[in-house]
């Protein structure tokens, strides 16, 4: 495998500027700057009260959710391997006066870059698909959890990630659900925000982690699963046929039988 980390990092460094300056309103930055709590509807209803909690947001991108958690009273730390993302997150923190800590680095090196334990590790939307080893990821999560602490994970459903829309508009199996350690190599010249700016770093490496691998990884790392939910809405138009479902969410049109598009889970570390 070529150096997946470098390809992915270059793609993300380039994406940050497009996302921060997005003309589609995808990230709801204007609402955030105006003081609105823009955490999505699923995570809002599932994370509970975070006030006073130490929260670690892994793969925080340019820090929007990290700052939303901080606005809700959490002592929030955001972590991401993109220097552009971390710079943009710090700038947004300074601009809005919402205090949070931002640290740069690869997920797997986080234990050597961040000190201390956390009451919550928060990972959402489009994060674990960039990581080759879900067992090592679960170990990193467990490393940071204080006794009684919890992981909140909200992600695209791996069964949906294995599908794509064909030219006739049907959703068909297109990527292997069980593909082991070999990455899926993608070439996409635009990001998911709907902006038409072209990426020069089009190539990326991704992994589909089966639901069982994610859950068994967490259990193997010593966590207990408190809930697992499946959702028919997702935070971006995963397939061209999808329709807006309100509050920044998308769903399949009524003529398509329902499918799990996302899942969320809470897992906790013994007290
Ligand atoms: C789709 S974004 C996640 C967005 C997130 N839901 C949020 O709160 O905005 C994926 C993020 O993962 C980061 N990333 C990808 N691979 C990584 C790695 N190996 N280590 C750390 N961050 C990584 C990217 O830089 C990017 O910011």
Domain spans, the chain: 4-268
**Cβ of residue 106 lying under 6 Å from some atom of ligand 1:** yes
Stretch (H or E) spanning 76: strand 75-80
Q: Is the CB of 15 under 6 A from ligand 1?
A: no
* 257 CA from centroid of ligand 1 (Å): 31
Measure the CA angle with vertex 254, ends 252 and 258; round to 5°: 55
Instruction: Kindly state if the Cβ of 67 falls inside 6 Å of ligand 1.
Output: no
Ligand 1 pocket residue status of 124, Cβ below 6 Å: yes
Q: Is 42 in the pocket of ligand 1 (CB under 6 A)?
A: no
Nearest CA to ligand 1 atom 19: 106
Against a cut of 0.95, is the pTM above it? yes
In the CATH scheme, what is the code of domain 4-268? 3.40.50.150
Residue with tokens 């995963």: 238
Atom of ligand 1 nearest to the CA of 106: 20
Per-residue pLDDT of the chain (271 residues; tens, 9 = 90+): 569 999 999 999 999 999 999 999 999 999 999 999 999 999 999 999 999 999 999 999 999 999 999 999 999 999 999 999 999 999 999 999 999 999 999 999 999 999 999 999 999 999 999 999 999 999 999 999 999 999 999 999 999 999 999 999 999 999 999 988 889 999 999 999 989 999 999 999 999 999 999 999 999 999 999 999 999 999 999 999 999 999 899 999 999 999 999 999 999 998 8
- Cβ proximity of 108 and 140 under 8 Å: yes
If you measure from the C-alpha of residue 169 to the centroid of ligand 1, how many angstroms do you get, rounded to a whole number? 30
CA distances from 58 to 81, 82, 118, 120, 237 (A): 10, 12, 12, 11, 23
CA distance 169 to 22: 28
Q: Which two tokens stand for residue 115?
A: 């000190």
Q: Distance between CA 106 and CA 5 in Å, rounded?
A: 8
Q: How far is the CA of 126 from the centre of ligand 1 (A)?
A: 7
> If you take atom 16 of ligand 1, which residue's CA is the nearest one?
130
């Amino acid at each position: 495998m070529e150096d997946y980390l470098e390809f992915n990092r270059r793609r993300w460094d380039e994406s940050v500027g497009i996302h921060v300056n997005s003309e589609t309103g995808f990230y709801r930055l204007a609402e955030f700057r105006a003081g609105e709590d823009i955490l999505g509807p699923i995570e809002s209803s599932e994370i509970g009260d975070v006030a006073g909690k130490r929260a670690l947001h892994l793969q925080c991108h340019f820090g929007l959710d990290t700052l939303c958690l901080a606005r809700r009273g959490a002592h929030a730390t955001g972590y991401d391997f993109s220097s552009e993302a971390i710079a943009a997150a710090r700038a947004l923190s300074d601009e809005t006066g919402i205090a949070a800590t931002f640290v740069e680095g690869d997920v797997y090196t986080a234990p050597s870059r961040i000190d201390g334990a956390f009451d919550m590790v928060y990972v959402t939307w489009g994060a674990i698909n960039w990581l080759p080893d879900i067992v090592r990821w679960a170990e990193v999560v467990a490393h940071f959890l204080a006794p009684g602490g919890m992981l909140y994970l909200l992600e695209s459903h791996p069964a949906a990630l294995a599908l794509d829309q064909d030219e006739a508009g049907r959703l068909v199996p297109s990527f292997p659900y069980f593909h082991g350690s070999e990455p899926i190599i993608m070439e996409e010249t635009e990001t998911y925000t709907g902006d038409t700016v072209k990426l020069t770093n089009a190539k990326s490496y991704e992994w589909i982690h089966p639901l069982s691998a994610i859950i068994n990884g967490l259990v193997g790392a010593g966590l207990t699963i408190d809930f697992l939910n499946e959702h028919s809405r997702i935070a971006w138009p995963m397939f061209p046929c999808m329709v807006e479902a309100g509050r920044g969410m998308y769903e399949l049109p009524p003529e398509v039988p329902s499918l799990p598009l996302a899942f969320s889970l809470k897992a906790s570390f013994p007290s």
